[in-house]
Structure 1
Amino acid sequence: MMWFLMCVGLLIGGYFVYGTFVEKVFGISAQRQTPAFTKTDGVDFVPMSKGKVYLIQLLNIAGVGPIFGPILGALYGPAAMLWIVFGCIFAGAVHDYFSGMLSVRNGGQSVPNLAGKYLGKGAKHFMNVFAIILLLLVGVVFISAPAGLLGKLTGWDVSIFLGFIFAYYLIATIVPVDKIIGRLYPFFGALLLFMSIGLTIAIMVSSEYTLLPGFEAGDFLTNLNPNDMPLWPALFITIACGAVSGFHATQSPLMARCVENETNGRFVFFGAMIGEGVIALIWCAIALSFFGGVEGLNAGMAGNPANVVYEASTGLLGTVGGFMAILGVIVLPITSGDTAFRSARLILSEFFKMPQTELPKRLMLAIPLFIMGAILTQVDFGVIWRYFGVANQTTAVMMLWTASAYLLRHNKFHWICTAPAMFMTTVVISFLLSSHTLGAGLPITVSTIAGLVSTAVIASLIIIKTKGKGDEGVTEEV
């Protein structure tokens, strides 16, 4: 229990200490009007209170990623918890803060336009394609997972729930942001927090289960994977949303269009990521504790983390409490899936310069996205999840480099973004070169060296090209 509480304490401390430092480096202005007021349109640009925006942001970014990812990561042992803590504070929360605040400073623009503004047109075109692919994968992952859990709970055919969720997505994607998302999601956010806290208390007071049983300090630095899977770099791809996730860069601009003041940014963007880190820690600890360690977890999971969610929730909270907990896990991906499609619509609207105030124009972009999403639901979930993981972390890399370029241009302390950008670039390149299913299948040593060299070259080019150029060509909107 001590190790778990220490990890939670580090995350909370990271928000107050490192979050304040990051905010100071960025340089907020309480007097600067935000896009919620300068571009109010009653559809996507709508002012909302700090608390409401925080809960919506938390739901938007917290799909099944901070649950399924940490459960899969728990197979490596407590080392997964270290990555969640330090990855969340020094990479994920920084990534989310800058993806949100740079959008606030640039009229609510999406990540492809931000990448193009600070990294060049090539980066913009790359991100336009990559972001749409990622959001489609996210939408499909976040449809299949809740539909599967609902099927397990009711015994109904999963395709029935797929149809219902798709219908809801279409409605939620095209109506004004304050009609469904703004009204229901704060309540769902509270349900999510209640579910997470309830499971934690249940396992702490349980006489049958022990929190992190038999683990010692040395286990936090050891790979305990029962399937002999290498910790590097796979762990840093497997646990994405609980540590650092490019998907969040596509979601933060949604709330950047609703933030009332720049002073709310640390709580909304940095704080929501810390909240997601706590959720990820809870599920990682539960996965390791409920099944008595990695061997039991591997057997209990049976290849599907949804089995862990079902067994742990009902086992710790009983039938009624377990149903409520599972309901929270079902709500998570649904509330992230619809905003994924909403983000894709807005990115396309920016690309085609198509205003979204009129319903027919929103449908013109939304319907083709849903057709492609429906086709992708027929692909095996495991395959979609692997591609989602790589696409997710690649998007995070691009957003971190975009934030680094912004700080370089403004002669600010860029290493808060450059350091995690370099680490995640090495992770992605090493993984792609070493993976036998998605990449070249090279030896891990060769892949890592190539990753380090490639990262050094990329970092040098961005620093040399960007530093000292001031605001040339990148004047912010006021």
Structure 2
Amino acid sequence: MNGLTLVGFAMVAFVAAYFLYGRWLVKTWGIDPKAKTPAVEFEDGGDFAPASRFTVFAHQFSSITGAGPVTGPIIAAMFGWAPAMLWLLVGGIFFGAVQDFTALYASVKNQGKSMGMLIEHYVGRTGRRLFLLFCWLFTLLVLAAFADILANTFNGFMKDGTENVPGAQAATISMLYIVVAMGFGFFISKVQPSGLVKFLVAVVLVVAMFAVGMQFPLYLDAHSWRYVTFAYCFIASVLPMWLLMEPRDYLSSFLLLGMVFGGVVGVLVANPVINMPAFVGFTVKGQSLFPILFITIACGAVSGFHSLVSSGTSSKAIANERDMLPVGYGAMLVESLLGVVALVIACAAASNGTLPSGTPFQIFAGAIGGFFQMFGLPAAVSACVITMCVSALAMTTIDSVARIGRMSLQELVAPSEGAEADSVAKILMDKYVSTAVTLILAYALCLAGYMNIWPLFGAANQLLSALVLISLALFLKSTGRKGWMLYVPMTFMFLVTMSALVMSVVGIAGKIGSGDFTLMVDGLQLVLAIALMTLAVLVAKTCGSELFAKNNQIAPELE
């Protein structure tokens, strides 16, 4: 088997899925191009800000494309390329893209409300509180994991004390991205340029930032970068979308889409031979294919976090309902394609059925950097570009998560409609206070390190997907729309993730008897795992009882 065949087949499958299955969903549920979207109706210059189709696509794609679509498929390749490839295709088309699009659709149809507020409307206050608490705890895990990834990526010093030039250069460019994005946001807001002018200005800015960043690398250690990262998260969480996040995601999309394009073209040109067997076994290195494969490959197939982006930020920027399909369904398929490229690259770099040494990002970065050099880019520039791409994967995710975490906490403590908030709720509903509380707790988790957080994050992420799919199925039923296409994904994901969390709890608990238990690391993970499982069961029970109730009364959408 060669890489060209796998990537080519995936591209055909994803394009066909978009035009056939995606459009069928639109036709089945219905859209109204003439309707006022929440972004238009409630435009406030802050959270609600209508934007062009590509701008919202860039925000969605940049936000959801974190480390997952690269790391997951490469790790899962230990089971063989066939199981990973099948899950990327089936999961991406029928699970992930459907979830992302449906979450966006439901939110746009209901005043841009988040998943938690939608649950309150269709289930009740208890369901909302339980779901939002789960979401908020989940955002703490995401913030902690990705902040640690960023800090180590930007770390200007290697373990032996030598300078990490590509990391320091990427750090400078990333800081420039923040400042330049704000200027770019003002430019778009005041001048309102055409799409072509906007594109050309963005290209010039990206090239200029790379030129400056490569000449003036910023050398700070990982500890310092953690402070900088959380400071940036605070700023991104409270500033208007149009001023920082949307223009930054637009600029970052050039890097991320360029990385996908470079990977696809590189595979098409090099046509590497796959050096991994199609199937290794159901149990590899003590890991069972079920449920580990479906937890390991998350963002490339289905990720609960995506639904928070769809309903939390993207739905508040959609200017026309016609944009929902490319933003919700299309962005996920592009991410799945990135997962396929990462899988092919790793399997091509394998030797005698064994993956190369190094982290998944090192394997991926080395291959993509080689492709860039094949296209004539100098080695030093290639190293800087790929390091910047890696950091962009994390940075464009973490700012969205900070905002979603802030909003989840605000909605969690907010009183029901018609009720008055108590004094504590009023304090926590302040966007500056809720942001600070969220980030302080996430920073405490971050100290445990990325590797200690990631397993729990992966399981919680997929469990969130199951809960979101159950909630969306209820939305479709309550509004008189067909929702059977969500039943298999929601059931499968719930069984997979609960199995993985039970295994995780048993594993952590086993450390107590062996004496390897660490209170601040294992203890915190154990408490969070049990809390997430408990909340998940309660949310599933609350929503599931409504979903399968014999009541066929149609609930109106929010007007």
Distance 1:388 1:460, change over 3 A: closer
Of 481, 484, 495, which residue of structure 2 is paired with 1:415? 484
2:148–2:449 CA contact under 8 A, matched in 1 = no
Structural mapping, 1:24-423, within 5 Å? 24-78=27-81, 79-151=83-155, 153-154=167-168, 156-206=220-270, 210-213=272-275, 215=277, 219=278, 223=281, 227-253=285-311, 254-292=313-351, 294-297=353-356, 300-301=357-358, 304-317=359-372, 318-353=379-414, 361-423=430-492
Which AA in structure 1 matches 2:130? F
Q: Which runs of 5+ in 1 are unaligned?
A: 442-453
CA distance in 2, matches of 1:10, 1:120: 39
CA 470–322 in structure 1, closer or farther in 2 if over 3 Å, else same:
farther
State the distance in 2 between where 1:293 and 1:270 align.
Answer: 37
The answer on whether the counterparts of 2:260 and 2:338 sit within 8 Å (CA) in structure 1 is: yes
1:22 partnered with 2:25: yes
Q: Distance in 2 between matches of 1:128 and 1:293?
A: 47
Q: Report if aligned partners of 1:34, 1:259 keep a CA contact under 8 Å in 2.
A: yes
**What CA distance in whole angstroms lies between the structure 2 residues aligned with 1:238 and 1:44?**
32
> CA shift at 1:361, angstroms?
3.0
Q: Secondary structure at the match of 1:17?
A: helix
Deviation at residue 379 of structure 1 after TM alignment: 0.7
Match of 2:548 among 453, 461, 464: 464
Q: CA offsets, 1:422-455, max 9 Å, x none? A: 11112122223344436899xxxxxxxxxxxx9x
**Structure having the higher Rg:** 2
Name the aligned partner's letter for residue 308 of structure 1: I
TM-score by length of 2: 0.75
What amino acid maps onto 1:10 in structure 2? A
Q: Distance in 2 between the 1:125 and 1:382 partners?
A: 30
The residue type equivalent to 2:154 in the other structure is L
Letter in 2 for 1:39: F
Report Cα offsets for 1:268-289 as digits up to 9, x if no partner: 1111111111111111211221
SS at match of 1:28: coil
Q: CA deviation at 1:371?
A: 1.0
Cα distance, 1:222 vs. partner?
A: 5.1
Distance 2:352 2:315 in 1: 41
Deviation at 1:123, TM superposition (A): 2.6
Cα gap change, 1:86/1:413 in structure 2, threshold over 3 Å: closer, same or farther? same
Root-mean-square deviation over aligned CA pairs: 2.6
The alpha-carbon distance between structure 1 residues 225 and 310, as it changes in their structure 2 partners (threshold 3 A), is farther
How many residue pairs match? The answer is 448
Give the deviation of 1:370 after TM superposition.
Answer: 1.4
Quick one: which amino acid aligns to residue 347 of structure 1? Answer: S
Distance 1:125 1:425 in 2: 20
Q: Name the CA distance, whole Å, in 2 between partners of 1:385 and 1:294.
A: 26
Give the partner amino acid of 1:183: P
Separation in structure 2 between the aligned mates of residue 418 and residue 113 of structure 1, nearest angstrom: 22
Q: Distance in 1 between matches of 2:509 and 2:125?
A: 27
Letter in 1 for 2:316: R
